[in-house]
Structure 1
């Protein structure tokens, strides 16, 4: 009874004038103290210690749920306490990974939901984090990056998810697609390892505009690999350039990088984007062709060639348009 009376006195002693809206996320694994300090730093409350006492007296210290909370600057502690007791205003946010995007394309967008994007990018290339994930996702064993494994799709992410947890839904979707395509078994048919299939699929994803052309483009790259020819794929060079131009210059294709498939034969060391199931399937079941070259015909379709002379004619034809 005395505890309830003290709580009532504390609550009624606090003001209720409210101002500008403030959105603050309480993440799983985050300490309550850190969350309450964020309320003070955002000028929602004046005294985090008083709120901590109220939370303890109200018996909700271990019951505050992760998620997005909406407050107002200068809001009375009574209203803040009530909102913490009621739970988060919004549980989920929509996050889209577009086809052909790389980690550096889509991870920064999580910043608008309060995530530390620099930390997310470092996690995506952290060997210890990948080793931890590989217990649940065996296809990550021995990998140095999550590039290519974050499946392009629309996701509804729990606002309370930690930085580590936001990677899970795209990886689970990737696993479903990967297993449904039976990549581990079918990759042998095209003479590639499963990871090499993913790498090549990411290049096909960036080169192709039309799904119907993907098996043909895949056949070109596979034919070049069999002959020991460099892939000479523009997207692999653009992957390492900070501000890649639409058309690469001679200087661009001369850069010293293992991702420069003009300079170094074979596949780049990792995927360069998140490929779709159709791009992966195109590598597993390429068209039967003897093409070695292709050039853009109209920005969407491509002209394919068997010889370099024929390829040059196609390039000239494109430039005359």
Structure 2
């Protein structure tokens, strides 16, 4: 029978137990380290994600208040809008913005023209997109009616209202020398030498004939303006022989007719007024029309003051004699013909009754001043700034 060494066996068991205890302790430590490491990663990751997302949803530059013009086209999706904003550097992260909009269930955002700044956060941008921006003009067929006496700037405003083109784009085009030279080649007898005239405020002022024009969707601005000048050319060609009745060039006819347009209403009065102005030119008297002062000032006013009369512009015919460098507006054919065929008289003055618009004429300053006192001054007796002239032509305001 074998003899067991119980002492040795006990020592081995004790050694094994000790090893198992140590192994368990190390296992627990490793598990704890793994758990702590995992939790640390999770916490750090969560904090990092929080700060990252918070930054992504915040302003790109909270100190930059300068606005950026952005257009959101009709039919844009949230992803499209996110791309547009990222392209304009208005959001920090396109993907997070897309996800945020979907999580917020913002619904349909409105198309339009917007002004955002880099100082706006995502919530501010979304709020503005919900509220809507300036409507996008839908390019459709329409008509544009240029009424008699309309200035070039007013035509620009009309075009902006009726077409996708802005008034600034229109004014840039009608003052572009290359474009005007091209028109001169198409209509040489009408526009030849136009760019050689000194002092013109707007070369094409007066050459866009007042009429109704068809605008077709997609029509270029160049084609639209050319159509208006072409109509003037047709009218001009029809009356070329009539110009033999006047010593004025057609450009000068347009210039004087544009003043007559705003001073008279009936054909009879327009012919008489044209005659008064020509009488003044013959004797070297300034035309002294308030219309010329207002054009020189570039503004509309109910009353021209003494200070206004001092505006130094070749278009101010209180300050300068003769005719201005060019027209003040687009005159009607009625005013053009009245200028070509004026009614000659002994009159050098006229004034309009501001109530009835009836015009009274006189041949001397005393009679004229009496008419002004009777028909004009009662309307402005309380205004100390009323303009007075030694030789006023009229006191009719636009």
TM-score (norm 2): 0.57
Runs of at least 5 residues in structure 1 that lack an aligned partner in the other structure: 1-39, 49-71, 75-88
Match of 1:121 in 2: 171
Match of 2:308 in 1: 252
Match of 1:308 in 2: 365
Match of 2:209 in 1: 151
Alignment match of 1:133 (pick from 159, 167, 183): 183
Alignment match of 2:277 (pick from 221, 232, 255): 221
Deviation, 1:42, is 0.5
Query: C-alpha separation between the residues in 2 aligned to 1:128 and 1:122?
Result: 11
**Aligned pair 1:44/2:101, yes or no?**
no
Deviation, 1:237, is 1.0
1:209-288 superposed matches below 5 A: 209-288=265-344
Deviation, 1:102, is 0.2
1:1-321 superposed matches below 5 A: 41-45=72-76, 92-112=141-161, 113-138=163-188, 139-144=190-195, 145-182=203-240, 185-299=241-355, 300-318=357-375, 319-320=377-378
Deviation, 1:261, is 0.1
Deviation, 1:289, is 0.7
8 Å CA contact retained: 2:153, 2:167: no
Deviation, 1:90, is 7.4
Q: Which has the larger Rg?
A: 2
Decide whether aligned partners of structure 1 residues 125 and 152 sit closer, same or farther in structure 2, where only a CA change above 3 A counts. Answer: same
Query: C-alpha separation between the residues in 1 aligned to 2:73 and 2:160?
Result: 17
1:279-303 Cα distance to aligned partner (Å, 9 max, x none): 0000110002111111112452211
8 Å CA contact retained: 1:131, 1:142: no
Give aligned pairs, total.
Answer: 243
Match of 1:55 in 2: none
Runs of at least 5 residues in structure 2 that lack an aligned partner in the other structure: 1-70, 81-108, 112-137, 196-202, 380-398
| SS of the residue 2:351 aligns to | strand
Deviation, 1:41, is 4.1
| SS of the residue 1:240 aligns to | helix
CA RMSD of aligned residues (A): 2.2
1:245-294 Cα distance to aligned partner (Å, 9 max, x none): 12200001111111110000010111000001110000110002111111
| SS of the residue 1:135 aligns to | helix
Deviation, 1:43, is 4.6
8 Å CA contact retained: 2:280, 2:287: yes
